[in-house]
Amino acid sequence: MFKKISRVVWIVSVVSLFTDVASEMLYPIMPIYLKSIGFSIIVIGLLEGVAEATAGLSKGYFGKLSDVSAKRLPFVQIGYILSAIAKPMTAIFTYPAWIFFVRTTDRFAKGIRTGARDAILSDEATAETKGAVFGFHRAMDTIGAAIGPSLALIYLYFYPGNYITLFYIAFIPGVLAIITTLLLKEKKTALAPTHEKVSFFSFLNYWKQSPAAYRQLLIGLLLFTVFNSSDVFLLLKAKDAGLNDTQVIGIYIFYNLIYALFAFPVGSLADKIGLKRMFSIGLALFAIVYFGFSFNSNLYIFLGLFFIYGVYASATEGVSKAWICNIIEKKDTATAIGTFSAFQSIGTMVASSLAGVIWFYLGAKMLFIMSGIMALVVIVYLRRMKEKVHPIN
């Protein structure tokens, strides 16, 4: 099974692992930390939304720039450098404007690297192995997402409530990620740089030029995105149900372990049964989880729901990118991924901001029920699509 995974995919995946150790060390404690310094649930939702929108729009621009320049490595390295630097900056001040700036910088860094990195992964796969390659990358990425909170949990066990120091500790795996990128070399390609002028929103032109199948797929993915709020709200629901900080972080670690365990085999299975079918299965699991969250307050049921949520993530995250890469031309890979990510992040901004408002005025139960229903609607929409593979890929 691992014969499908090249040296380059291994290196890129290890870089993502280190970066996620840093990011996810902070992710489960971020909402708790923000509430401790006076952020309301609505402001937390707005912060997450704005940060993700910034990441998405920059993914579109830098994805297009990567394709036009026929370069991948500079975008990958710069993106990981900025991300590492942003981690300790969060602890310097607690002013809302500063927190917004630093969180946005971290997401902007992700925007710089994502399109180019995913293009590298796509170039290392065939149409028949993209699910496995993207699944493997997600697995390694998510192992980091399990290690990070585990380190945070151990630290907070000995120093409860001392969140600030974690932001400095997170700088260490970020530096390791930067060092690992030095093992990559720019791959020689038949694609030549063009003299096309690239403005910040020029990637939007790709929507008109892209294959109809790409546009149809994106409509379904974005419809789901608008009703899929940040995982922060799942953690807050668990917290409000009576779980303490240790249990909240522990259950998030458990989710990431399940995600990491299933991502590669599920991606490989998707190559065999079809990416569309696997993605639809993932959405069905999502609906089960969100309906469950709307009624549950039991720790053990939360464990079961987060187990299912981990399988859902493994069946959708890497699979959706593999599906996109299979229906577009190779020369447009970073642009296609970047354009999708840009629209997706705008949808995430709307989703997280809307989720905060719905939770505040209508309650958590209504938020989760609405999300579950929309996942089922998107399944029906996607069933009407044909799964195509672009001949150039």
Q: Is the pTM of this model over 0.75?
A: yes
**Within-domain flag for 3:** no
What is the model's pLDDT at position 49? Answer: 67
* Whether pLDDT at 131 is above 80: yes
- In 3D, which of 48, 47, 161 has the Cα closest to residue 96? 47
Percentage of residues of the chain with pLDDT beyond 70: 94
Query: Per residue in 319-353, is it b (16+ CB within 10 Å) or e — as a string?
Result: bbbbbbbbbbbbbbbbbbbbbbbbbbbbbbbbbbb
**How many domains, in total, are found in the chain?**
1
Angle between helices 7-26 and 96-123 (to 10 degrees): 160
* Whether pLDDT at 388 is above 70: no
- Measured at the CA of 66, the angle between CA 62 and CA 70, to 5 degrees, comes to 170
Confidence of residue 177 (pLDDT cuts 50, 70, 90): very high
**Within-domain flag for 200:** no
**Within-domain flag for 62:** yes
Tokens describing residue 95: 């002013």
Backbone φ and ψ for 386, nearest 5 degrees, come out as -100, 135
**Within-domain flag for 193:** no
- In 3D, which of 263, 260, 256, 257 has the Cα closest to residue 282? 263
SS3 annotation, 293-346: HHHCCCHHHHHHHHHHHHHHHHCCHHHHHHHHHHCCCHHHHHHHHHHHHHHHHH
**Within-domain flag for 173:** yes
* Whether pLDDT at 190 is above 60: no
**Within-domain flag for 49:** yes
Q: Residues 299-349: pLDDT tens digits?
A: 788 889 999 999 999 999 889 988 998 888 888 888 888 888 888 877 877
* Rg, Å, the chain Cα set: 20
* Whether pLDDT at 142 is above 50: yes
What is the model's pLDDT at position 211? Answer: 87
Confidence of residue 392 (pLDDT cuts 50, 70, 90): very low
Range(s) of the domain holding residue 86: 9-185+206-382
What is the model's pLDDT at position 159? Answer: 85
The larger pLDDT score, comparing residue 29 to residue 172, is at: 172
Where on the phi/psi map is residue 331: left (φ > 0), alpha (ψ -120 to 50), or beta? alpha
Q: Residues 224-282: pLDDT tens digits?
A: 988 887 787 888 888 877 777 778 878 888 888 899 899 999 999 998 998 899 999 99
326/387 Cα distance (integer angstroms): 9
**Within-domain flag for 291:** yes
> What CATH number corresponds to the domain at position 17?
1.20.1250.20
* Whether pLDDT at 69 is above 90: no
**Within-domain flag for 387:** no
- In 3D, which of 235, 226, 223, 174 has the Cα closest to residue 44? 235
